[in-house]
A and B are shown apart, each in its own frame.
Chain A
Amino acid sequence: MSPSAVERPLHRSVCRPFGDGRRKSLSSRFADILKGRTAIAYDPQDLTTMYQDAAGTLPVYRPGTGLVDPPVGLMLDRSQGLELGPELFDDAGVAFRGESSRISQGVYRIYSSAGVLSSINLICLEIGKTYNVEFSVDNVGTLGQGLQVNFGSVFTATVTEAGIFTCILSAYKADFEVKRILTLGVTDFSISNISVREIKGYHAYQTTTTARPTLSGRYSLLTATETLSTQSVTTAATDYTLKFEGAGTITLSGTATGVYSAGTHTIPCTAGTLTCTVAGTVTRADLRVKRDGSTLPAYQSVTNANTYDTTGFPLFLKRDRADDNLIVQAPAITGQTAWGSIDTVDIAAATIAAGAYKPFGEITAGEPTCTQWIAINGTLTAAEQAILERYVYSKSKLPVGA
């Protein structure tokens, strides 16, 4: 008898009762928990859900790539899969201003012969909601300065050429309720296939520019880490891990003291300024908050504040604890919130009242970093609870229960 004759029946009898043989991912099982439930889910690691401005006109970029860490003015809720609602645009509801007109049903001329404001009205937009707006620019007769979509005090990027134009659009002020596609200067465009669909969910925003959190992936406090030079950093009162290679030494002074050679060291620090004085050659140096059981890479290459490696490092929302915060017009939720930060995870029962809510806490409260934020209405089974925990811990690259 060949080995394969024995193996085959066993393989089949074990595998088949469990479905199609494919195991669902943790993300997929988490998505199943959200189905049919009122929930909110923010994921700073999903770049497609964040915008630098509250209006959603300027997407964020990956931090560490040479530009300053981007602010986050709008964070989309992923709990409903960023599903689009039904089509809201209706040709019959279009009103015109200036010389703009209807060419045929669903096809419009946005035209100004003398640079006077001319527009078509998108009556279906409602203040306080977030939309995916799309239309086709079929022809540009006279460019002028192009077209813009204007919703409240929000203006999108200018449209200057034929093709499909898409934007996310939100407005939060009810005192300036214009909603239109308008000309800029002497302009003659024809557009069609206008689509306006609400992005389902409870999206968090911040209209005050200075109060927007930033998106970061920076874990090591040091800069020029490939070959370290003497520098000072700000520490909190907690344990840090110092790791480096090379024949040189690092002498610590300030919030911690000691002389260290190559290796991995635990450094208890107080709050304040820590000076790392380098003697000899110190390479691949890393200083970060100590995280027991973390699966983060042990070394993060940091050139400077704007250029650093984020491969393997979860991105996180970072609040300055002076004024940063996001606000959401939340539904009533009585159930659980789960908050992942770069240092810890907190899963707790919570009640959220319907209305304006600050998911990341008051300015001086809560963790200043967030790798994941979830609120789920209702009671979870023990199995669902376990999936939620594993999901949130995995997003922070921390072992469950850390």
Chain B
Amino acid sequence: MALTGSASEGLFATLLYPEGGTEATHAISSGYIAGEFADLLPCGDQPGGIEALLAMLAGVDFPITFDGLAGMLAMIDISDEAAEAAMGRLGLSLAPPQAHDEGEDANP
């Protein structure tokens, strides 16, 4: 996220819970991201661009090695599926409604 500056704000704010679990193990972001970053991420047949990502990180205060970045990307599940499909594949679900701030939402 350090790569994307303000574009990364608000990412991964939604927690996900394993089936039957009460503690969140993942977080999700779903939607469009800028093409310049999408092209660098491993997705489907696209291998990703760790070297290019490292080159971009050279300009920011975020020390990380090639192996560290590769390991981080390997831990992330990136796909072009709908959010619901990706969550179903990984056996994860959104937090139960009562876990959110009560009374904040007056909408139907």
A residues whose Cβ falls under 8 Å from a Cβ of B: 71, 153, 173, 207-212, 214, 234, 320-324, 337, 339, 346, 348, 350-352, 358-367
- Report the bound CA distance from A322 to B10 in whole Å: 12
- Report the bound CA distance from A211 to B10 in whole Å: 8
- Report the bound CA distance from A361 to B100 in whole Å: 12
Q: Is the Cβ of A71 less than 8 Å from the Cβ of B95?
A: no
**B84 cross-chain contacts in A, Cβ below 8 A:** 234, 320-322
Contact of B108 among A320, A358, A361, A364 (CB under 8 A): A361
Contact of A323 among B7, B31, B85, B105 (CB under 8 A): B31
B106 to chain A, nearest CB (A): 5
- Chain B, range 43-87, C-beta contacts under 8 Å to A: 82-85, 87
**B82 cross-chain contacts in A, Cβ below 8 A:** 234, 320
Q: Known interface pairs A207-B10, A209-B7, A363-B14. Does A322 touch B28 (Cβ–Cβ under 8 Å)? A: yes
**B108 cross-chain contacts in A, Cβ below 8 A:** 339, 346, 348, 361, 366-367
CB of B6 closer than 8 Å to a CB of A = yes
Residue among B9, B33, B82, B108 having the largest count of chain A Cβ atoms under 10 Å: B108
CB-defined interface of B4-45 with A at 8 Å, one 1/0 digit per residue? 001101110110000000000000111111100000000000
A146 to chain B, nearest CB (A): 21
Q: Is the Cβ of B105 less than 8 Å from the Cβ of A320?
A: no
- Report the bound CA distance from A279 to B28 in whole Å: 39
A234 to chain B, nearest CB (A): 7
Q: Is the Cβ of B100 less than 8 Å from the Cβ of A362?
A: yes
A273 to chain B, nearest CB (A): 9
- Report the bound CA distance from A298 to B40 in whole Å: 43
Q: Which residue of A lies closest to B95 (CB)?
A: A364
- Report the bound CA distance from A33 to B67 in whole Å: 62
**A324 cross-chain contacts in B, Cβ below 8 A:** 30-31
SS class, residues of chain B in contact with chain A: loop
SS class, residues of chain A in contact with chain B: loop
Q: Is the Cβ of A153 less than 8 Å from the Cβ of B94?
A: no
B19 to chain A, nearest CB (A): 15
Q: Is the Cβ of A208 less than 8 Å from the Cβ of B10?
A: yes
- Chain B interface category by residue count: 20 to 34
B residues whose Cβ falls under 8 Å from a Cβ of A: 6-7, 9-11, 13-14, 28-34, 82-85, 87, 94-95, 97, 100, 104-108
With A321-B94, A364-B95, A367-B108 known, 13 other A-B pairs at CB within 8 A are A71-B31, A208-B10, A209-B7, A209-B32, A211-B10, A211-B31, A214-B31, A322-B83, A346-B108, A350-B106, A350-B107, A362-B97, A363-B94
Q: Is the Cβ of B97 less than 8 Å from the Cβ of A208?
A: no
- Report the bound CA distance from A358 to B100 in whole Å: 14
Q: Is the Cβ of B32 less than 8 Å from the Cβ of A212?
A: yes
- Report the bound CA distance from A144 to B12 in whole Å: 40
A344 to chain B, nearest CB (A): 9
A282 to chain B, nearest CB (A): 25
Q: Known interface pairs A210-B32, A211-B31. Does A366 touch B10 (Cβ–Cβ under 8 Å)? A: no
For this complex, 20 residue pairs linking A to B, each with C-beta atoms less than 8 Å apart, are A153-B6, A207-B9, A208-B9, A209-B32, A209-B33, A209-B34, A210-B33, A211-B31, A320-B30, A320-B83, A321-B83, A321-B94, A323-B10, A323-B14, A352-B106, A361-B105, A362-B105, A365-B105, A365-B107, A366-B107
A205 to chain B, nearest CB (A): 12
**A361 cross-chain contacts in B, Cβ below 8 A:** 105, 107-108
Q: Is the Cβ of B105 less than 8 Å from the Cβ of A210?
A: no
Q: Known interface pairs A321-B94, A365-B97. Does A337 touch B107 (Cβ–Cβ under 8 Å)? A: yes
Contact of B11 among A210, A212, A367 (CB under 8 A): A210
**B94 cross-chain contacts in A, Cβ below 8 A:** 321-322, 363-364
Q: Is the Cβ of A71 less than 8 Å from the Cβ of B14?
A: no
B10 to chain A, nearest CB (A): 3
- Report the bound CA distance from A153 to B97 in whole Å: 34
Q: Is the Cβ of A351 less than 8 Å from the Cβ of B106?
A: yes
- Report the bound CA distance from A207 to B11 in whole Å: 10
B11 to chain A, nearest CB (A): 6
Q: Which 8 interchain pairs have the tightest Cβ spacing? A: A208-B10, A322-B83, A210-B31, A361-B107, A322-B30, A346-B108, A210-B29, A362-B105
**B11 cross-chain contacts in A, Cβ below 8 A:** 208, 210
